[in-house]
Each structure stands twice: as structure tokens, then as C-alpha cells.
Structure 1
Amino acid sequence: MFMNKNKIFILVFALAILFPNSIVLAAKIEQLDKTPIAGDYVIGPGKNEIRLNPGEQIVKILTVTNRYGKEMEFKIEIEDFAGSNNVQEPLVLLGQEKGPYSLRDFLHPETVEFKLQHGDRISVPITIIIPKDSQPGGLYGSIIVSTKPVVKPNLIDASTSNGNITIVSRLASLFFVRVNGQVKEEGKISNFSVDKSFYTQPNIIFKTLFENSGNIYLNPYGLLKIENIIGSKVDEIKIDPYFVMPGSVRQKEFITKRSIMFGRYKATLQMNRGYENIVDERAVFFWVLPWKIVSMIILIVFFVVFISKTAFDWLKNNFEIKRKI
């Protein structure tokens, strides 16, 4: 018996050395202490960036945590995603449709259906296998985690669907796989603007539009600096890296909220394209004229003018009276 155990151990050890990527990991469930009841579930990570050579494979772990306060059933689906030229929709999940840079056939979750008690967290291995004949470039797919449909009474229209409403929650973990080799990295800031030239409150909305004209996704990042009329820095916004899909555009908004701003300002955007350390620089100007401060200035000016005119008239009248005497 002891010899058999040793043989099994030696066999598993040898397989792990000879075929390190072929060992299948099982999904694991653990109970988390003091999990709050939030009426939802969370997955992680939300974004996975991976570099592989043709013919390589890797295993990533996807976690799902139940915070519904009760037992829930979940399922996993796989969908490709793509970018778009609609600034309101930078990413589109494609359902059963294959994307132009499809990854769906290369994503293999260890399990696709499971139950979780409240506070349970499952770790699901996701195996990514890149074919040997894959071309250099990007492949994009997502793991969609959804709940089993929850049926609730329809209080609006009891005649619809037998008086019931079906509610399904879906969350996605995005996979960006870059197959090593020569690719076309090309992109730039195509627009930088504010939503208006004059503000009455110091809540300024800046909009940037990044255009990716290459064949691989990019992660631009940068810095937004705001200076007053004499060139002193009044605010600075760090722009964390964000993805822009190939052949698409993406708009981002940034807001500065200062307690007091008055006068003319300059906003300078320095955006790194996410490759070869190329930085684009753009600038816009805007005015902040809070109505309370403007009203106060108008009242002060009016008061000064009134007092000055009154004093001038008084002095003029007194001077004329003395001349007559």
C-alpha cells in the first residue's frame, strides 16, 4: 500500500514537470467571514491582460462572491467583445456572434454552473489556450457570470408573462490577450474640450476623445493640469490607464470641483498614447464667473460709483456756495 502511494506521487510529480500546463485545477469554494448583505454579487478581476506566444496556455482565476443574503445559483457564459465608434458605448458584448478578434473558443472555464451560500466565494480556474497557428495581435473575450432568473410579481401589469417579471443580473470579466509578434500600435487624442466656455460654478467637465487606428488595444494615460490667469497651478487630475479597442474611439470625462474659482483658466492635457512613450499635449481655456461673486462685485462698483458721485456733487455745491459768498 505504501509503495502504491509512492508510485502515484511519483507519477503525478513527473506529469507536473513534463506537462506543467496540463494539470487541471478544480474550482474551490470558501466562506468569507462578516460578508455584508448587499443584495448583489461581485466578481474579480474585472480586467485581465495577458501576453502569450502561439501554442502557449495559461490558467487564470476568476472569483465570484455571493452577497445576496441567501443561496443563489450562478452560471458562466463566454462572449467576445469589440469596440465601437459610439462614444456612449465604448465596448459591445457580442452574444453568440464572433468578434473580429475572437477569443471565445480559447477560453475554458473549469465549471459553468454552481451554487453559493451567502458569504461564499468560489475561485474558478479559466484556462486560455492559444493555437499554434495564431497570428500576432489582440484577442478579446469575456467571462459572463449571471444569476439564475429570479421571478417577481409584476405589480404594473399583471397580464404580462403570467403576472411575473424575470430579473437576471450579469457581470463580465474582460480578457485582453496579446499574441506576441509584430503589431500596429497607432492612436492619438483627437479631441480635448470643456462642455462650455463660461461657468457660474467651479464644477468643470473636461472631455477627451482617444482614437485607436491600430490593430491592438491601447492603454492611454496622462495628466490634466489647471492653471489660473497668472500661471499658478490650482488643480491636477491624474488619468489612470484605460483601454481603447482597435479601430474604435473612446471618450472619457473628468471633473474638477474646487470651492472657489474666479477668472480665466487654462487646462493642459498631457496624454501618453500607451506605446513608445509618445505624449500628446492639448490645451483649452475657460472662464469661471460665480454669480454670487459677480453680483457682489457689481454691488460694490455701484456703491463706489454712487458714493463718489454723491461726494462729488456735495463738494461741487459747497464750492459754488463759497464762491458766491
Structure 2
Amino acid sequence: MNQNILYKGWRIKWSSLFFFCILFLSSFPFSNSVLAVSISPLRQTISIDPGTQETVKIEVTNDTQEEKIFIPSLDAFSTNGGSNEIHFGKNDEALAWVDSTQKEYTFAPGEKKEIPFTIIIPNDAQPGAHYLGLFVSERSGRGQIGAQGRVGSLLFLYVSGRIEENVSLDSFTTNKKLYFGGTVFINAQLKNNGTIHIIPVGNVQAKKKDCVDYFEELNTEKKKIFPHTSWQWEKEFPLKNCGMGLYRVTLYVQYGLSKQTMIQSLSFYYFPPAFVIISFVGITVLIILSFIFYKKRKGKK
């Protein structure tokens, strides 16, 4: 069952954006230990209006005792399935909006200097978020081709305007509708169809009437769902407090700057192992007694 919730008309404000990005940035370690070079800042955020341009800079320090030539470059990243692991090599239109002013920079031993990147946002750019990496790599020595390694800074680029927060509940299921003991398995999958990343929070609970047998907070690690990616939650748990009968599982999710919510429920029946065994024995005994009674009655005739 799909449940689409679309929110338009939310103007990005610097206060909300700053708080949101601090949460986002805190969970992304980004190492610059590949080369003997230091880069600062490791992460930065900027919001730009369509049809305008800005310049962002990274401060690069040559930590060696030799002259080095560094080449600036650009890449886009995303995360996989809502995890906090960064994957570069993503296609993003924003790669065409950013350019360095020079093709290479020469650094004396121990020298520190800033490398600028110019960002030009097209007039028709749609509001939303873009996730880029601003890199430098060391140029190979004479007689060699290419560059050696790369280190960089994460850039969270927001095109300001009206953003779209659109999340669908693509899946919310149990693997059975009737449980005879054992554990209950629940699966939920959210997809971010919007233009900005979200951090879903909420809870899931299983209850029989007013008796809550299972309760758990969702996404306590504050994992993010990037635009056009999915987040999946799976849980297996035993029922032990409320006995047999009809159970209702309710999923509550809140997400986005606008605090949108979605609620979805499903039901299943649960019978504990003891009940199954007793029922089986009882039915078996009843069948045997019925057969004996039938034989005796037939013998009297």
C-alpha cells in the first residue's frame, strides 16, 4: 500500500537549515589522511538562490617538506538505503554548476592557501539539496599520468525556494497473518521522493486491545534518507505478555522540516505453542472418543 504525502510551500530558513545540517553533518566522518595534506573545513553548507552565484573555499596545507602541485576536482555523493556510509560517483546536475578558478595550484613546503570553487545556479534550477565533494589530488611526477589519491571537503548545497517533501510508505507487512508460536516478523520501507534529505523518527507497537506487547522507537541512530532513495526497517520479536488473539501493529512516522506524519496499521492472529498443543491433543482425543462411541453404538445394533 502506498501512502504519498506531498508538502509544498516550505521556504528554507537559515535557522532551520542550520540546525538540520548540524544533525546531518555530525554523523559523517570524512578522513583526509590519504595524502600529506590538510584540508579545512571538512564540511560546509551553503544556500543559494536560482540565477545567482557564490564562491566557496577550502583551505589546503602542504604538510610535506617538498613542493607539491594539487589539482582541484569535484564529485557527487549519496548514501545507500538510509545508511550513513557515503558513496561517491553519483550523477548530479549540480556538478555542472561548480568549477574551480584554476586547473592546478603549486604549494611550497608547508604552504597554506585557499582554493576557491565558483557556484553558478541556473535561473531554472529547482529548489532542493545537492551533496558534493570538493577535492584536491596531488599531480603525479614527471613521466607519470594522472593524479595520486584525493582528499576533500563535503559541500551541502541547497537551492533555495519552495522545497518538496514527498515520502511514500512502499511496504508495511508481516510475513504471516496467523502465528502459532514463534516470533513475529515486521518489515517497513519508506521512500524519499522529495528534493531534500529527511530523518524519519517515530515508533512501532504491537498490541492486543489495550495490552501493549511490543514497542520500539524507530531510527534512533538518526539515519538520513536521501532524495530518491529508500530506508528499510525490519524487526523480529516474540509475543509474551498479552496472550492469544487478534493483534494490531501500528507504525507511526514523523519526518521533514514540516513535521509531516503518517500512520499505518495491520493485523494478525497469534496463538501460543501451549494452546496449539492442547488444542491438537484435545481434538485428537475427541476424535478417538467419537470413534469408540460410534463403534460401541454400532455393536449394540
TM-score (norm 1): 0.47
Bigger relative contact order, structure 1 or 2 (CA pairs below 8 A, ≥6 apart): 2
TM-score (norm 2): 0.50
